Amino acid sequence: MNNRNYNIYFHTHTISGIITAAVLYVIFFAGSFSFFKDEISAWQSNTSQMQHKGHHFDYQLLLDSLDQKYDLQGRSLLFYLYPNSSNSYVNMTVSQDTVHNAKAKETAYFSYDFLQKKESSYDQNYDLGEFLYRLHFLAQLNQAIPLRTGYPIGYLIAGLVAFLFLFALITGLLLHWDKLVANFYQFRPWAKWKTIWTDLHTVLGVIGFPFQFVFAFTGVILIVNVVFLAPFSKLLYQGNMEKIYQELEYTNDLDVPFLYKPLDKKIDIQQYIDRTQKLWPDAFLNRITIKNYGDESMVLAIESEADRTRSFAGTGTIAYQIKTDKVIHQRSPYDQPTYIAIMKSIVYRLHFGDYGGYFAKIVNFILGIMGCVVIVSGILIWLVARDKPNVPAHKRKFNFWLANIFLAACLTMFPVTAFTFVVVKILGNADRSVIYHVYFYSWLLLSLYYIIRKNLNRTNRETLLLGTLLAFAVPVVNGFFANNWFWNAWRLGATDIFFIDLFWLILGVLGVISYQKVRKRNLEKQTK
């Protein structure tokens, strides 16, 4: 490789890396936990979804109670359902029929639990799983920064960071290209500090490269596909963004003209849903649309995803006209999927890691945390490489100041996350504002403390110890406050709750081992 190119790769890699490091760490850390979003939700609410797998969802009961409360005549309803969850979101529009419906102007958007048969608002239903999931694309920043950009600011920042990360990955790979094979084996844990950081960064970076690359580019796509699509909507679709999303199969909403003639028939939605489920065995019905309820034009549309062991990318839709009992449109999820469905499925499956059960999720989690290590070691290389007598004092001061803040903010995430798990369990029912307060304030306080202490070694050691202790506390409070001791959860078949406890226990054990190593190392250094 010529020297000029090498140094350009080096420099652009360093700059894009140091700009994105702190935010990227947050994304990686929260994102790694998000692989277990469903399990965390089950853990927090003490309701195992595993225990109730294959539970029958009673739509008729829900519709009847909604009918009494809001009068469904002339409305359209949308149900969003999620795999491994009895929780759904229901969106109810205004009624087009103002003659027969006194409450026509009212709308509703709420979440409904099919198991507990209970309605709740989005805020009430917000849990730690949702919080960590949304933190990993910086959704909380949308409200925090009052900047109107036409697109949520948090998502834009997350998108930009993911894009720069993609760039840093490409330059990083080119940088190490010539000695790629040698780098695989080059780990010298007993050498001096800078060598250790460099080795850690290179070895884990090289091993984790395919994983990180996949997450960088699928992440950019998922969070800011609007950046790519916006010009096309202007140029090819007369500015109609909805049309693009329609064509790319993101949305599939039908507009059926309202006839203003009440339907003279008993409406049995349940029967259609059962029929559809039988038609496509093991398919997951993820969106149910009822158009013009109680009108002669009434249509029921069901969208589904294929059982992923049988079709990787299949998505299906079916629409019934209630009046005539006829199927007016059908595409089976087990048909040959379209090119669009295949491409999108690749992106989604790869990013969500939901193709291989717990094994795939755990591997993804480990690789995600390895990404965190690569980022932290990157920051340390950056600092140590510039900590030399020939670098001016003010620059060295700035470098230390930056690394100090970055490490304090990043490394405190581990204890803060464990702490929030503990608090949420002790409080019993924690909604959105509680989680926000506990997580963000404890994070702020703890990082401020370590920023003031100005000791990188101490930050590392103490956050590790604190996180480890709190990690052990997670299964214990789950036992004390919810009686979900390991053995109880296991006996009841609540494998998701059991998994989260076991997961924290293992994190705790790993924490103890790492802490021992760090301490021993530190003592050796002091005696030298």
Partner 1 sequence: MPANKKYLTHSILQRWLKITAGFFGGYGVVITFFLMLSFVFERKNVLITGIVIGYILWAVLLLFAFLAKSGWKIWAIYLLLIVLFSLPYLLCSFKLYPSICNCASVLLLFSYSRPSSNPLHKNSFDWKKDASISISKTKFKRILFAEY
| Per-residue interface string for the shown chain with partner 1, residues 80-119, x marking contact by CB under 8 A | x--------x-x-----------------x----------
Residues 289 and 437: their CA atoms lie apart, in Å, by 36
Residues 109 and 77: their CA atoms lie apart, in Å, by 10
When binding is defined by CB under 8 A, the residue of 90, 115, 327, 363 that contacts partner 1 is: 327
Of residues 68 and 324, the one with the C-beta less far from partner 1: 324
Residues 169 and 177: their CA atoms lie apart, in Å, by 12
Which range touches partner 1 (CB under 8 A), out of 242-250, 434-442, 488-496, 514-522?
Answer: 242-250
For position 470 contacting partner 1 by CB under 8 A, the verdict is no
Query: Nearest-CA neighbor of 290 among 282, 303, 301?
Result: 301
Phi/psi region, residue 483 (left: phi>0; alpha: psi -120 to 50; beta: rest), is left
When binding is defined by CB under 8 A, the residue of 255, 264, 266, 392 that contacts partner 1 is: 255
When binding is defined by CB under 8 A, the residue of 328, 366, 427, 506 that contacts partner 1 is: 328
Structure tokens given for 469:
């202790």
| Per-residue interface string for the shown chain with partner 1, residues 368-407, x marking contact by CB under 8 A | -----------------xx---------------------
Of residues 149 and 527, the one with the C-beta less far from partner 1: 149
In the complex, minimum distance from the CB of residue 282 to partner 1, in angstroms, rounded to a whole number = 18
Which residues, in sequence order, are bridge partners of residue 301?
Answer: 289, 319
In the complex, minimum distance from the CB of residue 416 to partner 1, in angstroms, rounded to a whole number = 24
| 330: number of Cβ within 10 Å | 14
| Secondary structure (3-state) at 492 | coil
Which range touches partner 1 (CB under 8 A), out of 239-247, 265-273, 489-497, 501-509?
Answer: 239-247
Q: How far, in Å, are 164, 179, 291 from residue 333 at the CA level?
A: 36, 46, 22
Count CA atoms closer than 13 A to 58's CA, side-chain side.
11
Structure tokens given for 425:
């369990």
Binding positions for partner 1, 116-135, rule CB under 8 A? 122
Which residues, in sequence order, are bridge partners of residue 326?
Answer: 321
Q: Answer yes or no: are the C-beta atoms of 204 and 211 closer than 8 Å.
A: no
When binding is defined by CB under 8 A, the residue of 146, 149, 235, 393 that contacts partner 1 is: 235
Structure tokens given for 360:
């795939």
Residues 68 and 26: their CA atoms lie apart, in Å, by 46
| Secondary structure (3-state) at 207 | helix
Binding positions for partner 1, 161-200, rule CB under 8 A? 163, 166-167, 170-171, 174
Which range touches partner 1 (CB under 8 A), out of 66-74, 204-212, 324-332, 514-522?
Answer: 324-332
| Per-residue interface string for the shown chain with partner 1, residues 334-373, x marking contact by CB under 8 A | -xx-xxx--xx-xx--------------------------
In the complex, minimum distance from the CB of residue 411 to partner 1, in angstroms, rounded to a whole number = 24
Task: Give CA 144 to chain center in angstroms.
Answer: 19
Binding positions for partner 1, 304-323, rule CB under 8 A? 319
When binding is defined by CB under 8 A, the residue of 94, 248, 451, 502 that contacts partner 1 is: 248
Which residues, in sequence order, are bridge partners of residue 318?
Answer: 302, 330
Q: Which residue has the tokens 């309202």?
A: 258
In the complex, minimum distance from the CB of residue 241 to partner 1, in angstroms, rounded to a whole number = 7
For position 329 contacting partner 1 by CB under 8 A, the verdict is yes
**Burial environment of residue 441 by CB neighbours within 10 A (0 to 12, 13 to 18, 19 or more):** exposed
Of residues 210 and 428, the one with the C-beta less far from partner 1: 210
How far does the chain reach from its first CA to its final CA, in angstroms? Answer: 40
When binding is defined by CB under 8 A, the residue of 84, 140, 330, 442 that contacts partner 1 is: 330
Of all helices (H) and strands (E), which one includes residue 422? helix 413-427
Instruction: Return the biggest CA–CA distance within the chain.
Output: 90
Task: Give CA 135 to chain center in angstroms.
Answer: 8
Of residues 306 and 471, the one with the C-beta less far from partner 1: 306
When binding is defined by CB under 8 A, the residue of 94, 139, 207, 402 that contacts partner 1 is: 139
Which residues of this chain interact with partner 1, rule CB under 8 A? Answer: 3-12, 14, 78, 80, 89, 91, 109, 122, 139, 163, 166-167, 170-171, 174, 217, 220-221, 225, 228-229, 231-232, 235-236, 241-242, 244-248, 250-256, 287, 319, 327-332, 335-336, 338-340, 343-344, 346-347, 385-386
